[in-house]
Amino acid sequence: MSLKIVIIGGGSSYTPEILEGLIQRQSTFPVTEIVLVDVEAGKEKVDTICQLGKRMVEEAKVNITLTWTLDRRSALQGADFVSTQIRVGGLTARAHDERIPLKHGLIGQETNGAGGIMKAFRTIPVLMEVAKEMNELCPNAWMINFTNPAGMVTEALLNHSDHKKIIGVCNIPFNMRHSTAELLQVPPEEVLIQFIGLNHFVFGDKIFVGGEDRTEEVFQKLLQKEFDYSPANIMPLEWSETFMKSTKLLPNPYHQYYFQSETVLKKDLKAYEENGTRAEVVQELEESLFELYKQESLRNKPKELEQRGGAFYSQVACSLMDSIYNNKEDIQTVNTWNHGTIPDLPYDAVIEANCVITKNGPKPISIGGIPAPMRGMIQNMKAMEELVIKASISGDYQDAYNAFLVNPLIQDEKKAKKVLDELLEAHKAYLPQFMRV
Ligand code: G6P
């Protein structure tokens, strides 16, 4: 058996991670062909990644052909898995998403608040095209989507494209599981967190180790020690005892934006004054990573890549593809259709949930309704996501305004308009759907 993997956005500095993951799994997941796809502006980068990838393949002595192309349609022919990791408008667009809201006293973040909504507006139409092409050129292939905002993108594609083999993934549940394992000093494979919620808005309900409920102990330990489970892009703040004891839920690092908004805003403003936006920090990091990638002597994924917030994403992608291919029926946390798993959310909504991974895709495991303290919040977030998806497709100003209005990080109706107008102007080259007259 030989498998073909296509990586859309192959010029991303993260790509060496997924290449490493594919190389390491070759004995159980027999990939023989990998095609990196990018756009004209990413040509130089994708070439650098491809050269490095070839050295990694040589070093590992595996039989994988690695190529790159700008011709997405030709790449998709005969693909078995397609990983999507694109950034429409690049880091310059991300910098606008972060800076413009901040200027108006709102949190500026690439997947939350106004910035996250704009990222969805730029991304959804492009990935709808990819899904359409997949349905025509490789109808049996699975799309593994990393592109942020991953939950909304996955819902948009599942509900509005004809291609239905789409799964959204994120490194946050993976990180939470691994840091919990570190906290308890047990192997990560033994930790099971019952997740409930949405991408970047997911909570841990109960934590089991080898079947034993250790939730209380994890909460205690989290409160006692300074323990950082935030990825590199999020400032680590601590949670109060009152929060943990009252909600009885394990928050993910992105919840700081919602439940510690003032503190985060202050810290973000300070960080912005000192170092610029996260996009600008990442831009510098990327430049040095690419310098490193160009070195002929580099034949493996460099450690420096771990400075990126999405580090370890490839482990999530590779275990998912491996489990689908081998029908492993193991449990992984992915973004997929709710279909009644969480009764408090719409049937066709996409949720982030523990799923049994089969050759027919993920089967979410129900743990019942959303715990009362967060029920309203999660329902509100889902309603906001639905409005974002609607606007991404319609390109209607009023739809976009409605999404801004109900986003908990925006709320103020006048600011919503100001920030939306400025962002629409800043991103107009990437928002053709909003520019129709
Ligand atoms: C986290 C998130 C990802 C996000 C990344 C950003 O890990 O889960 O969705 O893309 O951070 O990291 P960066 O290094 O680009 O700021």
Give the C-alpha separation, 116 to 208, whole Å: 32
Is any ligand 1 atom within 6 A of the Cβ of residue 172?
A: yes
**How high is the pLDDT of residue 349?**
98
Pocket-testing residue among 308, 314, 316, ligand 1, by greatest number of atoms within 8 A of Cβ: 308
Ligand 1 atom at shortest distance from the alpha carbon of 313: 7
β-strand pairing of 201-209 with 191-198: antiparallel
Atom of ligand 1 nearest to the CA of 308: 14
Average pLDDT on 244-267 reads 95
Over pLDDT 90: what percentage of the chain? 90
Residue 170 Cβ < 6 Å to ligand 1:
yes
CA dihedral 57, 62, 64, 65 (to 10 degrees): 60
Closest CA to 174 of 66, 298, 380, 331: 331
Query: What integer pLDDT is reported at residue 92 of this predicted model?
Result: 97
User: How far apart are the CA of 5 and the centre of ligand 1, in A?
Assistant: 23
Q: Which atom of ligand 1 is nearest to the CA of 311?
A: 7
148 lines ligand 1 (CB under 6 A): yes
Ligand 1 pocket test: pick from 83, 171, 201, 316 the residue with the most ligand atoms within 8 Å of its Cβ: 171
Residue 110 near residue 234 (C-beta atoms within 8 A): no
Query: What value does the mean pLDDT take over residues 223-236?
Result: 73
pLDDT tens digits along 126-138: 999 999 999 999 9
Split at pLDDT 50, 70, 90, the class of 20 is very high
pLDDT digits (tens, 9 = 90+) for 166-179: 999 999 999 999 99
Mean pLDDT over residues 233-243, rounded? Answer: 84
Q: Tell me, what's the pLDDT at 253?
A: 92
Return the percentage of the chain with pLDDT > 70, whole number.
99
pLDDT at site 227: 64
What is the arithmetic mean of pLDDT over 284-304? 94
Q: What pLDDT is attached to residue 367?
A: 95
pLDDT at residue 226 is higher than 70: no
Lowest-confidence region among 111-120, 257-266, 297-306, 350-359? 297-306
Cβ–ligand 1 contact at 173 (below 6 Å): no
Cα of 137 vs centre of ligand 1, distance in Å, is 30
Among 16-30, 308-322, 361-375, where is mean pLDDT lowest?
Answer: 308-322
Residues 6+ apart with CB under 8 A from 86: 8, 9, 12, 123, 126, 127, 147
pLDDT at 272: 93
- Tell me if 354 CB under 6 Å of ligand 1: no
What positions carry a catalytic annotation?
A: 254
The beta strands (E) that lie in 116-248 are given as 142-145, 166-168, 191-198, 201-209, 212-213
341 close to ligand 1 (CB < 6 Angstrom)? no
Instruction: Give CA–CA dist 305/289, Å, rounded.
Output: 7
Whether the CB-CB separation of 70 and 43 falls below 8 Å is answered with: yes
Residue 437's pLDDT is what? 64
Closest atom of ligand 1 to CA, residue 307 = 14
- The CA distance from 394 to 370, in Å, is 31
> What residues are paired with 355 via a beta bridge?
332, 364
Regarding the beta carbon of 151 and ligand 1, being less than 6 Å apart is answered no
Q: Cβ(403) to ligand 1 under 6 A?
A: no
CB atoms within 10 A of CB 224: 9
204-218 pLDDT tens trace: 999 999 999 999 999
Per residue in 42-55, pLDDT (tens digit) is: 999 999 999 999 99
Residue 307 has pLDDT above 90, yes or no: no
Taking the centre of ligand 1 as the mean of its atom positions, its distance from the CA of residue 161, in whole angstroms, is 26
Which ligand 1 atom is the nearest neighbour of the CA of 231? 7
- Average pLDDT, integer, range 274-284: 95
**Tens digit of each residue's pLDDT (9 = 90 or more) over 309-318:** 777 788 899 9
Angle at which helices 43-60 and 15-24 cross, to 10°: 20
